[in-house]
A = this chain, B = another copy of it.
Amino acid sequence: MTPTSYVVLGCLALAGPATPYGLKQTVAGSIGYFWSFPHSQLYSEPERLARAGLVTEQREDRGRRRRTYAITDAGLAALKAWVVTPTDELPQIRDIGMLKLYFGSIADGEQLAELARVRTDAHRRRRELYSEAAAGHDSGPGIRAGEALALRFGIAFEDASIAFWGSLAKGLND
């Protein structure tokens, strides 16, 4: 079971049965901001889960032969058990920009300043996206509480990033 497995289980649990494409829709624009993967995963992963008995697969027997997946009781139990076990494993931040900065001593100041500007902008845009999503979110409470919290953290992260790269850009500017 990888994190991807639980994303699929979680989406099926929260939003009900879905096709791989439906999962793609669900993931994009929500948890996908924080944990993304190509859509092909959403074909192979449910297959694995089905083999493990955590979801059921039902396939149209005519037309496009679309598959619809639904979470089973075993799947729900597995998801619950996972959610309920606290992790102390720390987040992994995979940030190409940070990597480049880390090895930045082989570049000159102006190049690093440009990097910092580009990054500041990218983070600003992302921050916008999050706050819009959060705003459009104030309507449906309850079920989507997790999403609102994730967005709140996302905004905090973007703010920290903007502050960091922004001050770096300023500091490197002449």
Contact = CB atoms under 8 A, between A and B. Distances in A.
Contacts of A100: 82-83, 86-87
Nearest to A82: B100
A147 B152 CA distance: 28
B90 A123 contact: yes
A147 to B, nearest CB: 7
Interface bracket on A:
35 or more
Contacts of A67: none
Interface string A64-91: 0000000000001001101110111111
A160 interface: yes
A7 interface: yes
A10 B102 contact: yes
A29 interface: no
Contacts of A123: 90
A149 B97 CA distance: 12
A118 interface: yes
Contact of A84 (B91, B107, B150, B156): B107
Contacts of A106: 13, 76, 79-80, 83
A93 B10 contact: no
